[in-house]
Every structure is written in C-alpha cells, then in structure tokens.
Amino acid sequence: MRTVFFTIIFFLFAGSSGAIELTYWTSSNPEEIELGRLLVRQWNLSHPDVQVKMQPIPATQSSEEVLLAAIVSKTTPDVCSNILPAIMGRFTKSKAVLALNAFPDYEKAVIGRTGAKLADLFRSRDGKLYQVPWKCNPVMLVYNTAIFRALGLKPPKTYSDFARAAETIAADRNNPGRWAMAVSIKTTWWQRLFDFYPFYVAATGGRTLLCNDSAAFNSPGGVAAMTFFRDGFKKRYFPMLGFSGNIFLEGKTAMDVAGPWVIKYYRRLKPGFEFDFAPIPVPDNYKGPVYTYGDPKNIVIFATTKYPKQSWEFVKFLISKEADLKLLELTNQVPMRREIASDPFYGGFFDKNPLLRKAARQAQYVVPMDESQHLVQILDIISGQFEAAAVYAVITPEKALAIAAKKTQALYDYW
C-alpha cells in the first residue's frame, strides 16, 4: 500500500516539471491531426521549457460553434489553427483574440511569408492583423480524366465550353444517366461556398460578396454566375440531389467543385481513380486571371492565454518553411506562402505531386470570405435565392440577387 502511495506521489511531482504548458487546437480531420502531432512532437523536443499539448477541436456540426462556445465559457486554447477568417469579426468584437501587431517581428514573420497583398485580405477594419494566414484550399473544377479522355473533351474554360462538355456527356450512349456535375440543392449556407461563390468570384475577377457593408454580389458577375447554375439545372446538366454522396467517385458525374484536400480523400476511397484540376469556368467574355474562393484557415492566439510570447514563438514555428512542407506532404493543403509554386525548397514535392502544383499556382489568385458578423446569414439569404432562381427557376437571377441584396441591407439596418 505504502509503495503505491509513494509511486503516485513520485509521478505527481515528476509531472510538474515547472515547464510552461500551451494548449493548441487543431482541425479534427485525420491528416491535420497527424500534422499537429508531428509538429508538436518536434516543438516539445526542442523546447523543454514550453511544452505544447495538442487537441483536435471537439467534433460537432462546425468548428465555429465550438470556438464560440469556448469563447463564451472562457475555455479557449492558447493557439488554434482552424480559424475561418469570415468569423473573425465576432472574435475581434468580443476581444477574444490577440492583435499580432503587438509582436515586434510580426512583419517579418507574417508579411515576409505571405506577402502584403494576401495578408491585407485578412486585416481587420481597425487596421490590425489578428490572424496569421496559414493555408488555403483553392476551390477548383475537378474532372474525371478517364471520362474526358474517352469523350475527347478538354477541361471547360468558359460557360460555353462547360455547356458543350455537359451536352457531350449527356449524349454518351454508352453511359446513359451520367450528369456533368452534382450541385447540392440544399440551402445549407456553406453549400454555396462550393458552387455559387467560387463561380461569382471567378466571374468578377476576385470580388467578394460585400463592399462597405453593402451587397456587391448584385452585379453583372453575380447574375452571370447565377444564370450558369440556372441553365445547368434547367438543361439537366445537374441532377436534383439533396445527397450527392460520392457520385463523382462512382463515375455518375464527370466534374466536381472542390479543393486539393480531395486528393488524399479520393485516393483513399478509390485507388487508381483518375482526376485532374482546372480553374473554375468563367463567362465567355471574361478576360484576366481566374480567381476563386481560397477556403483559407488561419491561426490565432486567444486573449485568454497566459503566455502570449511563448504562444507567438509556437505560431512562428507552425508557419516555418519546414512546417509548411509537412503541411503540404501530410494534408495536401497549400500554405499561404508567396510564390510557393516556384520556390525551389518545395520543388521536389511539387515534381512528385503535379496536382498540388496546380493548386499552389491557383493559390496566388484566391480570395477569402468577407469579414462580417452577418456572413452566415448573408450566405443563407443567397442560398435561398439560389434555390429560387437556379434550382427551381421560379424567379430570374436578376430578381433573386436584387432580393438578396435588399435582405442583406436589412440585416445591417436591423441587427
């Protein structure tokens, strides 16, 4: 009995070595957990005085809900690397995150890595930078190369190209019942981040939804994107599906809209599946580089931290050149590092992973979502109008966007 008692006491004291302990929350997908574990292990080995404890964000409907709950209950971690920039407005309003400008070397660490142009997209209205731009998943057109090869098709660059490809796919007598692409008919707000929004961004040359707290989407580019989806549903290029499941992998559709995170996912679910990436199709008269939604996730230091300096050092470690290579290798997501596609340090990796090189090149032409406390509701409004104008075609795209713009304005006026 006495032996057990002293053993417990020994381990209790052995555990309290006097080292600072930081808590780090990462995304709960298996690849990012693996990355987090690796980086934390490396950090802990080289920093015995600042030990980091990693924890995946508890599984729920969305990470944002968990983070909001943690802010309310003041149980936020020191560092989190799964921050959707669009919800930063709420975080900064409630003073839940630290301004990184306070750290003297932030310019070198953040601007030096990301570049001022991209970093500015994440600057808050007060001019401060509360988030470290970390990684992105440029949303692109994914196409089944076997189907395209068999039908003699090239990846569509414009809406007309897309329509021609869709007609060819539908006319394929060997594979009746195959569609061009699956577009969710559900009105869940985030669904529009993988259909209307990237097409809108592409059609407008990189515009986001809002401009000075007003709707910018009620524009020719917005109408063009909405009309593209309306025509697709009308001409049966897209099936009426609430649940799309894996029908792209099953070969029931020839195209999909997704980011490079699907590379590992597709290869795991269907080894040997042939696919490639192409930029999002644009209106026929569009000129210039093709932009898209970047689906970025960033890093923040929460204001509840007792160790801001040590947390900042850990954040800098997470965005180091070597850590970015691990990010590419383990998650197939693209670090927001300028000129990464042509950086010789990553050349070997991109030579072995040409699909990722395409994504990295696209990453130079991405935009995030607007930082607005009403963003989810705005996307919900657009989703409702997308359903009315594109899926069921009961109103025109022009009217749908005008209604959405009016409702968006009402949000700012009322809430």
- Smaller CB separation from another protein, 116 or 240: 240
List 119, 336, 363, 391, residue binding another protein (CB under 8 A): 391
Q: Compute the least distance from the CB of residue 401 to another protein, in Å.
A: 16
Pick from 187, 192, 199, 207: nearest CA to 140 = 199
List 102, 116, 211, 394, residue binding another protein (CB under 8 A): 394
Pick from 235, 238, 200, 206: nearest CA to 219 = 200
Instruction: Work out whether 170 is an interface residue with another protein (CB under 8 A).
Output: no
Pick from 93, 95, 63, 62: nearest CA to 80 = 63
Instruction: Work out whether 380 is an interface residue with another protein (CB under 8 A).
Output: yes
Phi, psi of 62 (to 5 degrees): -155, 155
- Quickly list DSSP for 221-236: HHHHHHHHHHHHHHTT
Instruction: Work out whether 242 is an interface residue with another protein (CB under 8 A).
Output: yes
- Smaller CB separation from another protein, 355 or 393: 393
Query: How crowded is residue 65: how many other Cβ atoms within 10 Å of its Cβ?
Result: 12
Among positions 89-118, residues that touch another protein (CB under 8 A) are 90, 93-94, 96
Helix or strand holding residue 144 (H, E):
strand 140-144
CB 96 within 8 A of CB 71: yes
Q: Compute the least distance from the CB of residue 247 to another protein, in Å.
A: 8
- Smaller CB separation from another protein, 60 or 160: 60
Structural tokens at position 372: 């607005």
Instruction: Work out whether 11 is an interface residue with another protein (CB under 8 A).
Output: no
List 20, 68, 325, 402, residue binding another protein (CB under 8 A): 68
Give the count of residues interacting with another protein (CB under 8 A): 32
Please choose, out of 126-134, 305-313, 358-366, 374-382, the segment that lies near another protein by the rule CB under 8 A: 374-382
Instruction: Work out whether 342 is an interface residue with another protein (CB under 8 A).
Output: no
CB 319 within 8 A of CB 298: no
List 8, 9, 19, 72, residue binding another protein (CB under 8 A): 72
Instruction: Work out whether 187 is an interface residue with another protein (CB under 8 A).
Output: yes
d(CA 245, CA 243): 6
| Residues 72, 73, 77, 81, Cα dihedral to 10° | -30
- Residues with Cβ < 8 Å from 124, sequence gap 6 or more? 88, 89, 92, 130, 371
3-state secondary structure of 316: helix
Among positions 297-326, residues that touch another protein (CB under 8 A) are none
Instruction: Work out whether 75 is an interface residue with another protein (CB under 8 A).
Output: no
List 247, 325, 355, 402, residue binding another protein (CB under 8 A): 247
Instruction: Work out whether 189 is an interface residue with another protein (CB under 8 A).
Output: yes
Instruction: Work out whether 372 is an interface residue with another protein (CB under 8 A).
Output: no
Query: How crowded is residue 175: how many other Cβ atoms within 10 Å of its Cβ?
Result: 14
Instruction: Work out whether 415 is an interface residue with another protein (CB under 8 A).
Output: yes
CB 301 within 8 A of CB 307: no
List 77, 133, 232, 239, residue binding another protein (CB under 8 A): 239
Instruction: Work out whether 413 is an interface residue with another protein (CB under 8 A).
Output: no
Quickly list H helices, 156-235. Answer: 159-170, 196-203, 220-234
- Smaller CB separation from another protein, 94 or 342: 94
Instruction: Work out whether 88 is an interface residue with another protein (CB under 8 A).
Output: no
Instruction: Find residue 299's DSSP bridge partners.
Output: 132
Please choose, out of 132-140, 209-217, 360-368, 389-397, the segment that lies near another protein by the rule CB under 8 A: 389-397
- List residues binding another protein (CB under 8 A): 65, 68, 71-72, 90, 93-94, 96, 185-189, 239-243, 247, 373-374, 376-377, 380, 384, 387-388, 391-392, 394, 414-415
